[in-house]
Amino acid sequence: MIPRLTSARRGLIVAALGSSLTVSWASSYYIPAVLAVPMAADLGLSPVWVFGAFSMAMVVSAMVGPWAGVRIDDFGGRGVLIASNFVFAAGLALLAVALSPVVMFAGWAVIGLGMGIGLYEAGFATLAGIYGKDARGPITGITLIAGFASTVGWPLSGLMLATWGWREACLGWALIHLFVALPLNAWLPTGTETAATPSAPLKDGPPPSRLTLGLLAFVFAVTSFNSTAMAAHLPGLLQAAGASTAVAIAAGALIGPAQVAARVLEFGVLRRFHPLVSTRVAVAAHPVAAVALVTVGAPASYAFAFLHGAGNGILTIARGTLPLAMFGTAGYGRRIGWLNAPARILQAAAPLVFGAALTAWGVSAIWLTTGFGLAATLALLILRRN
């Protein structure tokens, strides 16, 4: 029998993986907000082209995610995560030396490959390999840490941009991958030899039905659309509801704390319940918040932002814990890779689609995401625990 990892070792593993994922998120998903405009200006492009390249990267990540999951299932997550650091560094270095749109798109394509093998899905599968069905707590732990990726990433990208320039900022992130994130990932257990413990044998039920998998993939996809749409357009949406610019920005600033607060709640109170219960509550939060915004108007801006942020915080965890609780550990990496692939594609389209809806319909565009939220809630009510 392989001994159970001590609680101290468990905490260090969560801290190391959470910190490395913070670097991965900060240097990929969150850099366009700071670097897209100077990058586009230097290359003689509209910023739309840079955001288009970023959307392409998300599609690439959706294509490679299932492959990464299979590799983690078979060999553990450490090697895949180490490879992601090299890939991220290579993509960021390509951006740094890009003198043409072609090289810029190539750099983002490589970063997309890194996103497919080095973000939450890879982290979740790694923890499932290490802890088996006891991975719910560690999964919540790494999302608590990596939830601060924007808090760390935006100011650091801005500092490097102001001090050296956008090319040097990309090189800076590449070096952080090689000298900070990579050693943290290299320290992790391989992720296959410690899954079975005397107190937590791996017991997996029958293969899930296609209907169950399809419903979960739908839930993850439409809630990812909502999350990305709000991340891109929340201030504009609140202003369309009548809020001032100052109120819209202040309300938007609540999303981060709301996500962290909800994840703390999941780590404490909600972990006593099946993840399906907390996921239903989280998905329903956005439609409730939207009804409040449309009904009350600008005074509901803060409530809308907080409810949406809290729901989104729990949903991030649910993408790892719900498949684990419902289907077990057998083939977990491959399964979450396929379940989250449609979500990546909808994420890529969300800013453009919701932006067009907001321009055409104003605050009524919220009914688009509300409809998605209600449909996802219905899908979760159809699901059963196994």
Which residues have C-beta within 8 Å of that of residue 49, sequence separation ≥ 6?
40, 101, 104
pLDDT at 22 over 80: yes
Q: Can you give the pTM of this predicted structure?
A: 0.85
Band (pLDDT 50/70/90 cuts) for residue 268 is confident
Q: Where are the domains of the chain?
A: 7-186, 210-382
Would the CATH topology of 7-186 be identical to that of 210-382?
A: yes
Q: Which residues of 175-204 are buried (b: 16+ CB within 10 A; e: fewer)?
A: ebbeeebbebbeebbebbebbebeeeeeee
Q: Which CATH superfamily is domain 7-186 in?
A: MFS general substrate transporter like domains (1.20.1250.20)
| Mean pLDDT of the chain, nearest integer | 88
For 354-386, the pLDDT digits (tens) are 888 988 999 999 999 999 999 999 999 998 765
Task: Pick the closest to residue 129 from 79, 65, 196, 82 (CA basis).
Answer: 196
Q: Which CATH superfamily is domain 210-382 in?
A: MFS general substrate transporter like domains (1.20.1250.20)
pLDDT at 211 over 90: no
Task: Pick the closest to residue 126 from 206, 13, 47 (CA basis).
Answer: 13
Band (pLDDT 50/70/90 cuts) for residue 201 is very low
Band (pLDDT 50/70/90 cuts) for residue 176 is very high
Percent of all residues in the chain with a pLDDT value above 70, rounded to a whole number: 94
The predicted pLDDT at position 17 comes to 96
pLDDT at 161 over 90: yes
